[in-house]
């Protein structure tokens, strides 16, 4: 295995993880809500909507953080080597998966595991295994 030391950022990664954990803890302590992105976004689509303010603020932070980071320094450069059709299909499949799993990676992986949820442990093991298998097939069997 080759580690790209130019992009190896353990300090920034640790800081990001601590901030995500702190944000999840603050949300559940002060609002009684799990910081699962699909649930937060999905709550905006349900009627009646009585808790719109905090949901919009949370989503604004998700969108606004990279914008602020770009203003403060070098913006992140994502290189996605696929078609828009594949991106849309992948997004649709992820959305379906979050419904079947009763939550997304952030809800199960960050909040569910920290609460000791067996359902979240199974969901996290499933999506991690699927991701590992997908990368293996793409890189070694299909050739990417």
Per-residue pLDDT tens over the stretch 93-116? 888 888 888 888 888 888 888 889
| Domain contains 64 | yes
Domain assignment present for 2:
no
Q: Determine, yes or no, domain membership for 86.
A: yes
Average model confidence (pLDDT) across the chain: 86
C-alpha 18/C-alpha 23 separation (Å) is: 9
pLDDT of residue 95: 83
User: How far apart are alpha carbons 7 and 36 in whole angstroms?
Assistant: 28
pLDDT value at residue 78: 75
Range of the domain at 103: 9-142
Q: Establish if 4 belongs to a structural domain.
A: no
Q: What is the pLDDT of residues 25-72, one digit of tens each?
A: 998 899 888 888 888 888 888 877 778 888 999 899 888 988 888 888
pLDDT value, residue 135: 87
CA-to-CA distance for 54 and 36, rounded, in angstroms? 13
The predicted structure's pLDDT at residue 144: 57
pLDDT at 107: 85
């Amino acid at each position: 295995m080759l580690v790209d030391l130019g992009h190896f950022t353990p300090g920034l990664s640790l800081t990001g993880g601590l901030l995500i954990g702190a944000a999840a803890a603050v949300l559940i302590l002060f609002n009684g809500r799990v910081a699962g992105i699909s649930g937060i976004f999905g709550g905006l689509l349900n009627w009646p909507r009585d808790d719109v303010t905090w949901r919009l603020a949370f989503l604004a932070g998700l969108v606004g953080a990279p914008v602020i980071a770009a203003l403060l320094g070098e913006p992140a450069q994502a290189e996605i080597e696929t078609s828009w059709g594949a991106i849309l299909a992948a997004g649709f499949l992820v959305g379906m998966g979050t419904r079947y799993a009763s939550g997304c990676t952030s809800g199960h992986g960050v909040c569910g595991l920290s609460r000791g949820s067996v359902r979240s442990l199974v969901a996290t093991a499933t999506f991690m295994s699927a991701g590992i298998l997908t990368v293996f097939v793409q890189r070694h069997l299909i050739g990417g």
